[in-house]
Structure 1
Amino acid sequence: MPKPYPEEFREDVVRVARNRGPGVTVEQVAADFGVRAMTLWKWMRRADIDDGTKPGSTSEDNAELREARRRIKLLEQENEVLRRAAAYLSQAHLPKRIYPLVKELATGGIPVTVTCRVLKLARQPYYRWLERPVTDAEFEQATRANALFDAHREDPEFGYRFLADEARSAGSGMADRTAWRICRDNNWWSVFGKKRGRIKKAGPPVHDDLVRRDFTAMGPNRLWLTDITEHATSEGTLYLCAIKDVFSKRIVGYSIDTRMKSRLAVAALNNAVARRGHVDGCILHSDRGSQFRSRKFVRALDRHRIVGSIGRVGAAGDNAAMESFFSLLQKNVLDRRSWATREELRIAIVTWIERTYHRRRRQASLGRLTPVEFETVMTTPALQAA
């Protein structure tokens, strides 16, 4: 079964189809974007329903229904946790250790996250207990950590001495030095204790530079490059995060947003994986921007089994192949005219990428073929399906 197209890609295709020029058919737009005409007609019908121009159940209604069902299931799980915990703790002959109950509920299908949130437990001590038998010292350590965590969550302004006082008043005795060590290991500090420098420097790299300016690949999905560009409109700035396959120079995924947050890079990565499929072991190279060093982006790389790579600070040549694409985009689209709205610029960007750059612009490094033609010629049928 083929993978579904990313939501952002479908919206962009519908925008282009709705704003097509005179004489341009829906079938031609579908061919430009590499989708079936019937599929595009379905997307446009769904967009009309969502806009209220046609009757039917909108995507928002369906999403609300799914969210309501998810919330009901979560409430049922939370009620089951409270019921089982009350029955477990009421048995006087059992030791008052809650972690076995968390494990038992997890076996029954209730996630550990839900159980720990309802019982106000930290998950880290539970997973340590699950890996090896818990000694009395380790259990005491977890109890102290829970007491400090509860105090820190209620009053983030407190330093470790105040947290120790709160923990002792809650019945978990410990020395100030012990409280400092636990807070240090878990990075629980007062919000007033952080030192702020005047000049914000680039953060440390989360990955090594695995590319070292060697922008070559022996096949698709071996080496990807990514970066973020921006352009001003009368409504405000529009940001584009694009991912380029070095093998065919094709833009395998992109995302466009009004904010340059980590979600922009994560959305572009998810769109690329959804369109390409087999990406295990692929290297994704970027600069040292905060979006590509964020925890959300690193977790997304791990989830898709993609290897991260980061260049040096202030070295534009470390990502020159991606910069060359943005230079083409700048000359062919962004600087051609002034843009009144973000919507207008967005349509122009996706149209140029999917119609012109992918399917009409021949490149000398590809043997005077377009990126789509090059992939068709140089890859096997199995890889073409990706």
Structure 2
Amino acid sequence: MNDQTKKPNKSYTSEFKESAVKLANETDQPVSQTARELGVNVNTLHTWISKYSKPVKTVANRSDEHIYDEVKRLKKELAKVIQERDLLKKGHSVLCKGNFVKYAWITDQAKDYPVTILCRFMDVSRSCYYDWVSSPKTDREKENEALTEQLKKLFEDSRKTYGTRRLKRKLAEKGVHISRRRIGRLMKKAGLFCKTKRRFKATTNSKHNKRISPNLLEREFTVSQPDRYYVGDITYIATKEGWLYLAVVIDLFSRQIVGWSMDERMKAKLVNDALLMAIWKRKPMDGLLWHTDRGSQYASDSHRKILSDHNIIQSMSRKGNCWDNAVSESFFHSLKTELTHHCRFKTRVEAKQATFEYIEVFYNRERLHSANDYLSPVDYEIQQEIA
């Protein structure tokens, strides 16, 4: 790799740091695991936690024996209620099925719950269940059961977004080669269905009197070098407090989200902060092509000044033509299909944290992308650097 293509040290915005700290504090996994998922140094993440975490108030201990016994009893009852609630969530769709389906579900849950409780919950005889467990099965049936367990794990890891094509690819990585048709049959039998799709509308306002840049990208979405062609757009996320607006910057080379910003207002600052994050993080060379729609935010004087200061060339889609910015539209489609259309966010803070995790943990580092030969954006860039 020559000197021009070497990556300098990464820079992170305070918005990224605060979101990373919140993610580290709210998950049960080690801080080191969160750091790996976000692609940051674990010592750096610890430093951010020390700086941005709020002190946690503790409740004074009470020595009264009566209170201790009562708390102990309530905890036991709460654990029982939680167990019954969790069983109802997991098994409500199986309750009306035949006994064989119930037996299979009990076997699947037996690692977490006592069989006696599971049989009582499913209203089946425990002796009949054990007779079914001990009955001989064909090699094909055993193989299908093992495959189904693998598919369930992969499907859950994908946040219930992967269809047969991506699941086939993930199984192949584990040395398991089966047809998409068979995967589809096993998924249907196991009740594994991808999240449904819903339409969404554009948010930017292109009806303004500001100067418009020509379309220099011309739908050339496949590029051979990183940090030479960026595309961006704005979308909205619904919360009970009102809209949360999201602006993103995507590197066409790997489809990685290299910059983003969220705010309750859709002003020029929103897109400026997203682009500045990408510039600080990736340090692109002069001559970067930056393609967006004709929204007033992208045509603003403040945005054009950023482009001028960093020698960035601006390109804009033709009027009313969403296909000129298809990569951004595709990302928003994935975001809404896989996350926001299935969540009812109470606050903008809640929506912001969920979106941060989707972008930085799942989309950039885990989600298989068809344009990258079914590698995640980060893995694709690593592979290309090695090659």
What TM-score results when the alignment is normalised by the length of structure 2?
Answer: 0.57
Match of 1:165 in 2: none
* Alignment partners' CA distance in 2, 1:363 and 1:306: 27
* Alignment partners' CA distance in 2, 1:345 and 1:18: 17
What's the C-alpha RMSD, in Å, of the aligned pairs? 2.0
Question: Could you tell me which of 234, 237, 253 is aligned with 1:247?
Answer: 253
Match of 2:65 in 1: none
Q: Which amino acid aligns with 1:41?
A: H
* Alignment partners' CA distance in 2, 1:306 and 1:296: 14
Match of 1:2 in 2: 9
Q: Is the 8 Å Cα contact of residues 203 and 288 (structure 1) preserved in structure 2?
A: no
CA drift at 1:354: 1.1
Q: Aligned pair 1:203/2:213, yes or no?
A: no
Q: Is the 8 Å Cα contact of residues 30 and 40 (structure 1) preserved in structure 2?
A: yes
What TM-score results when the alignment is normalised by the length of structure 1?
Answer: 0.58
Q: Which runs of 5+ in 2 are unaligned?
A: 1-7, 58-204
CA drift at 1:204: 4.8
Q: Is the 8 Å Cα contact of residues 23 and 357 (structure 2) preserved in structure 1?
A: yes
Question: Could you tell me which of 304, 310, 324 is aligned with 2:316?
Answer: 310
Q: Is the 8 Å Cα contact of residues 368 and 375 (structure 2) preserved in structure 1?
A: yes
Count residues with an aligned counterpart.
Answer: 233
Q: Aligned pair 1:359/2:350, yes or no?
A: no
Deviation digits for residues 108-149 of structure 1, max 9, x if unmatched? xxxxxxxxxxxxxxxxxxxxxxxxxxxxxxxxxxxxxxxxxx
Bigger Rg, structure 1 or 2:
1
For the structure 1 residues 200 and 356, does the alpha-carbon distance in structure 2 shift closer, same or farther, using more than 3 Å as the test?
closer
Q: Is the 8 Å Cα contact of residues 209 and 309 (structure 1) preserved in structure 2?
A: yes
The within-5 A match list for 1:210-249 is 210-249=216-255
Match of 1:259 in 2: 265
Match of 1:16 in 2: 23
Match of 1:195 in 2: none
For the structure 1 residues 262 and 380, does the alpha-carbon distance in structure 2 shift closer, same or farther, using more than 3 Å as the test?
farther
Q: Which amino acid aligns with 2:215?
A: D
Q: Is the 8 Å Cα contact of residues 224 and 285 (structure 1) preserved in structure 2?
A: yes
Match of 1:275 in 2: 281
Q: Is the 8 Å Cα contact of residues 285 and 310 (structure 1) preserved in structure 2?
A: yes
CA drift at 1:26: 1.1
Aligned-residue identity in percent: 36
CA drift at 1:15: 1.6
SS at match of 1:241: strand
SS at match of 2:249: strand
The within-5 A match list for 1:35-184 is 35-48=40-53, 51=54
Match of 2:190 in 1: none
CA drift at 1:3: 4.2
Q: Which runs of 5+ in 1 are unaligned?
A: 55-198, 382-386
Match of 2:32 in 1: 27
Q: Which amino acid aligns with 1:17?
A: A
Q: Is the 8 Å Cα contact of residues 225 and 322 (structure 1) preserved in structure 2?
A: yes
SS at match of 1:379: helix
Query: Larger relative contact order (C-alpha < 8 A, sep ≥ 6)?
Result: 2
Q: Is the 8 Å Cα contact of residues 363 and 369 (structure 1) preserved in structure 2?
A: yes
